[in-house]
Chain A
């Protein structure tokens, strides 16, 4: 059972380059999320999709765009990468119904922008 799958695992970009981080879940979850993790900052929500067809900004959306392609897939795009976007990015999903549905995380994408 794959759970939440993220690709790529590692990426190095030059400033100004663009890329898309891919995420897919096979648990039939309604809600999907993108977080970034930085030392001393914990997890910060970039964007989320409460259900297929909807997306909303989180705490730190600037410089990112998202697409909920279908129920399974939720991608994160950096249009013009900046060194401040060097981070570990996690995709997560949740059943989305009720308070007690936990998040299920992928293993992360480690992005370095030079």
Chain B
């Protein structure tokens, strides 16, 4: 069935370091792909999305490219800040499965000054 596999955490980086959080998916067809971010004590917020192969989503310095050939949607940021400390979730969605979303287990990121 459809599923999302995310890089295990937690991840700890120094400020200004490069970030990559891996996400791969298993799906029949062509889902839309999303990254969500959850700050402590809050709900999930949409960070970026891509709806077809080779699309690049970007927001707040984060980027992810929809790679159909490797079924991946890795999240990257060139220079992380302390304020980026949060939990990041990869997700996919098919409109022909009752509009269900499938989430990864989340990757916790801590950025230290």
Contacts and interface: CB of A to CB of B under 8 A. Distances in A.
A107 B105 contact: no
B49 A100 contact: yes
A65 B68 CA distance: 38
A81 B36 CA distance: 30
Contact of B100 (A4, A40, A45, A101): A45
B42 to A, nearest CB: 6
Nearest to B92: A99
Given A48-B100, A90-B43, A96-B99, A102 B34 contact: yes
Interface in A78-114: 90, 92, 94, 96-108
Interface in A15-44: 31, 33, 40-43
Contacts of A50: 98-99
Contacts of A105: 36, 43-45
Contacts, number: 64
Given A90-B43, A102-B34, A48 B98 contact: yes
Given A98-B95, A102-B49, A40 B105 contact: yes
Interface of B: 30-32, 34, 36, 41-46, 49, 51, 89, 91, 93-95, 98-101, 103-106
29 contacts: A42-B89, A43-B89, A43-B103, A45-B100, A45-B101, A48-B99, A48-B100, A56-B98, A58-B100, A90-B43, A92-B43, A92-B44, A96-B99, A99-B30, A99-B32, A99-B51, A99-B93, A100-B49, A100-B51, A103-B36, A103-B44, A104-B46, A105-B44, A105-B45, A106-B43, A107-B41, A107-B42, A107-B43, A108-B43
